[in-house]
A and B are shown apart, each in its own frame.
Chain A
Amino acid sequence: QVTLKESGPALVKPTQTLTLTCTFSGFSLSTTDMRVNWLRQSPGKAPEWLARIDWDDEKFYSTSLKTRLTISKDTSKNQVVLTMTNMDPVDTATYYCARSMVTTLHFDYWGQGILVTVSS
Chain B
Amino acid sequence: DIQMTQSPLTLSASVGDRVTITCRASESISGWLAWYQQKAGKAPKVLIYKASTLESGVPSRFSGSGSGTEFTLTISSLQPDDFATYYCLQYYSYPSPWTFGQGTKVEVK
A112 with B43: CB separation less than 8 A: yes
Interface of B, helix, strand, loop or mixed by DSSP:
loop
Of the residues B46, B97, B102, B103, contact of A106 by C-beta under 8 Å: B46
B95 close to A (CB within 8 Å):
yes
Interface size class, chain A: 20 to 34
Residues of A90-120 whose CB lies within 8 A of B: 96, 98, 104-108, 110-113
B75 close to A (CB within 8 Å):
no
A62 close to B (CB within 8 Å):
yes
A49 close to B (CB within 8 Å):
yes
When distances are taken between beta carbons in the complex, the residues of chain B under 8 Å from A104 are 49-50
Listed in ascending order, the chain A residues whose CB lies under 8 Å from chain B are: 46-49, 52, 58, 60-63, 96, 98, 104-108, 110-113
Q: 3 nearest interchain CB pairs? A: A110-B43, A106-B34, A46-B100
Interface size on B, residues (CB 8 A): 23
B25 close to A (CB within 8 Å):
no
Residues of B76-95 whose CB lies within 8 A of A: 87, 89, 91, 95
A52 with B96: CB separation less than 8 A: yes
B91 with A105: CB separation less than 8 A: yes
A63 with B97: CB separation less than 8 A: yes
A60 with B44: CB separation less than 8 A: no
Of the residues A49, A58, A61, A110, contact of B98 by C-beta under 8 Å: A49
When distances are taken between beta carbons in the complex, the residues of chain B under 8 Å from A48 are 100
Question: From A37, which residue of chain B is reached at the shortest CB distance?
Answer: B98
When distances are taken between beta carbons in the complex, the residues of chain B under 8 Å from A111 are 43
